[in-house]
Chain A
Amino acid sequence: MRIAIIDESPARAAVIAEGLNASGLTDVTVLTERSGLVATIEKLSPDVVLIDLANPGRDELEELFAVSRAIARPIAMFVDQADDRSIEAAIDAGVSAYVVDGMKPERIRSVLDVAIRRFNAFSRLRAELDEAKSALAERNAVDAAKKLLIKKRGIDEPAAYAALRKAAMDSGRKIGEVADALLTAEKLLGDI
C-alpha cells in the first residue's frame, strides 16, 4: 500500500510515518511543501492520501480530484479532536476514513483499508448513478423520437422503433444518439 502523508508539520508527519512503518507499511511519502503538491500527488499515484483536516492546500487537492476521477484517491483525514458523532457525520459526508491523532499504530492499517474500500464503493455507486441517469435520458429521447415519427410519418409505434433501430445499426450509433439527432434536427428545422 502506497501512502502519501500531507502535513504542514514535519514533526507530526514523522510520528505518523513511524507508526505506519511499525505496522509494516513502508511505502510512505511525507509531503510538507504546498508548492507543487498537486503535481507530486499526480506523479506519486498513492493508494491513499492521509491529510490533516485543516491543511491549507486542501482546496487545490479537491480541485484535482474533481477534475479527474481517474486521479482521485481515497482520502483519510486526521483531526485533533473528534467524538463519535462527528466521525459518523464525516463518513456520511464522504471522507473515506477518519484518523484521530494519537491513534495506535496497529489500528491505522485497518483504518486505511477502510478508507480505500469506502472510496471504491462510493466511486462504484456514482458510476452506477451516472449510468442510470444516462439510461433514463436515453429512454426519454427514444420515446420522444418515436412519438415524432408516429406523428410525422403516420406509422405505429413498433414501426417507429424499428425505423430508429435500423438507422442506428446502419450508422453504427446507439439508438439514443440517433433519437437525439432526430430531436435536434426537428428543433432546428421546425415546421419546414
Chain B
Amino acid sequence: MDRLRIGFLPLVDAALPILAHELGFAEAEGLELQLVRDLSWATVQDRLLYGHSDAAHMVAPLAISTTLGLARPAVPLSVPFVLGLNGNAITLTPDLAARVTKIGSPGDIKAVGAKLREVIQERRKSGRVLRLGVVHRYSSHNYMLRYWLKGCDIGDEEDVSIVTIAPPFAADALAAGEVDGICVGAPWNSVAVERGVGVVVATTSQIWRRGVEKVLAVQQERIEAERELFDRLLRALYRAGEAFVDPHQVAAITEILALPKYLDGSAAAINRVIQDRVLFAKGHEPVHIPDFMFQHREAANFPWTSQAAWLYAQMAAAGHVKPDIQDYLAAQAVFRPDIYRAALATVGATLPGASSKLEGGISTPTGVGSIQGRLILGADNFFDGQSFDPDAYATMLQNSRV
C-alpha cells in the first residue's frame, strides 16, 4: 500500500477523494488515502507546497495563481483531474433578495442583475457600496461573480466591493451585516438559508452552465516524478465519480460526507446538493436545477486547457494579473489532459480527442470527437450568450503588446 495525503476543505465537491477512500476504490489501486481537513484555502495550499500533503482539493484559479507566483514565489502545480463543475450559488440578505428576485425559485439571471444594478445606483447616492463576499481572491466564485456583474453593466470598484470570507464563516458574515451577499459553494448557501440570514438568488450554473470549479492539484515536479502513483489516484477518483452519480448510493454517500471528519454538516443539506436540488429560501420547497453541479457526467473530470485559459482571462480582467502571453500559456499548461488520458485509458473512461475547446459554444447537446468512448457535451453557454475562444484571446494578447 502506498500512502497519499490529500488536503481538502469541507465542501460537497471534496466528495471524490473522500469517496475514493471510503468506498474502497483507492484501496483497490493499492493506495491508502489520508484526508487532511482544513478551514482555509491558504492552509490547503501551504500544506501542498510544504509537503504536508501530496495532493489537494483546490479552487481552480488558485492552482494557476500558485504556478504564476502571484503574491508569493511561484511553485508550478499540475491539474490532472477536475473534481467538479459549478455547485456554487449567490446568496443575498433577505431584504436585498426581495428587491431583486421572486423569493424561493431561480429567476432570470439577467433580470436579477438589472434589478441589482438599480439597487446599487440608489445606494451610491447615499455613499453605501454593496459588499459581496467570495471564498478566496483566486476562486472561481470571484471570477464568475465578476463576469456576471460586468455583463450586467455593474462596475467592479465604485459599485461593488468584493471581499474574501472563508466559506464556514460566510453565513455569520451575512447575519452580522458584514456583507450584503455571498458567493460560496455547497453546502454553505444552504446553511445561510436554513438560518434565515440569506436567500439564494442565482446559482453559478446560470452564469456559466459548465463552469470549472474544483481541481486536484499536485506539485508539477512531484507528479512528473511519480506518474504511476498518481495514475492510480486518478483511477480511484474516476471510480468515485461513477459511484457519486449512482442513484442507489445517494443515501450512503450522504452519510459519509456528513461525518464530522469530513463536512461535519447537515445531512439533509448535503443530500439535496448531491441530487442537484437547491433550497432558495427558508420555508420554500427545494428546486431541481439539472445543471447545478457536475462530478462525473460529460467527462466533467477532464481538464480542458481552455478552462484554464478562461480563468486566466478573468484574472486579467480583474486586474489580478498583467496580461501576458507567456503567463497565459503557462496558465494553460497547468491543466494536464495528457496525464488524464494516460491514467484513465485502461478504465474505459470517455477520453476527448482534443485538449482545448471553444468554451460556451454549445447550445444544444453535441457529440464531440473522442479517442475512447462516446462523448456528448450538453449546453455550456454563458448567460450573456458570449463564447470564449482560447486562440482568439492569445491573438488579442499578442496584438495588444508589440
Contacts and interface: CB of A to CB of B under 8 A. Distances in A.
B265 to A, nearest CB: 15
B373 to A, nearest CB: 38
Interface string A128-168: 00000100010011011000000000000000000000000
Interface stretch (A13-21, A41-49, A91-99, A105-113): A91-99
Contacts of A77: 46
B168 A56 contact: yes
B285 interface: no
Interface stretch (B65-73, B85-93, B185-193, B360-368): B65-73
B166 A89 contact: no
Contact of A34 (B46, B49, B50, B169): B169
A182 to B, nearest CB: 11
A56 B401 contact: no
A125 to B, nearest CB: 9
Contacts of A86: 50-52
Contact of A59 (B70, B164, B178): B164
A89 B46 CA distance: 9
B327 to A, nearest CB: 11
A28 B206 CA distance: 48
A133 B323 CA distance: 12
B4 interface: no
A65 B71 CA distance: 8
B129 interface: no
A103 interface: no
Contact of B40 (A57, A66, A141, A144): A57
B402 interface: yes
Interface string B54-90: 0000000000000000111101000000000000000
Given A90-B49, A93-B50, A94-B73, A58 B43 contact: yes
Query: A interface, by DSSP: helix, strand, loop or mixed?
Result: helix
B399 to A, nearest CB: 8
Chain A: number of interface residues, binned into ranges: 20 to 34
Interface string A54-84: 1111111111011100000000010000000
B274 to A, nearest CB: 25
Contacts of A183: 402
A171 interface: no
Contact of B72 (A58, A89, A93, A137): A93
A151 to B, nearest CB: 13
Contact of B137 (A35, A55, A62): A62
B135 interface: yes
Contacts of B47: 53
B42 interface: yes
Interface residues of B, number: 32
B72 A35 contact: no
Contacts of A141: 401-402
A59 B52 contact: no
B41 A59 contact: yes
B51 A89 contact: yes
A97 B300 CA distance: 39
Contacts of B282: none
A60 B134 CA distance: 10
Given A59-B135, A59-B166, A60-B164, A93 B49 contact: yes
A53 B38 CA distance: 10
A57 B51 contact: no
B50 A56 contact: no
Contact of B71 (A59, A66, A95): A66
B264 to A, nearest CB: 13
A67 B319 CA distance: 10
Interface of B: 38-43, 46-47, 49-52, 70-73, 75, 135-137, 163-166, 168-169, 172, 176, 178, 322, 401-402
Interface of A: 34-35, 53-63, 65-67, 77, 85-87, 89-90, 92-95, 122, 133, 137, 140-141, 143-144, 183
27 contacts: A35-B172, A53-B43, A53-B46, A54-B38, A54-B39, A54-B43, A55-B40, A56-B40, A57-B40, A59-B137, A59-B164, A59-B165, A62-B42, A63-B136, A86-B51, A86-B52, A89-B49, A89-B50, A89-B51, A90-B46, A90-B50, A92-B73, A93-B73, A133-B322, A141-B401, A141-B402, A183-B402
- Nearest 10 pairs of A and B residues by beta carbon: A94-B72, A56-B39, A144-B402, A58-B42, A63-B164, A93-B49, A86-B50, A66-B71, A58-B40, A90-B50
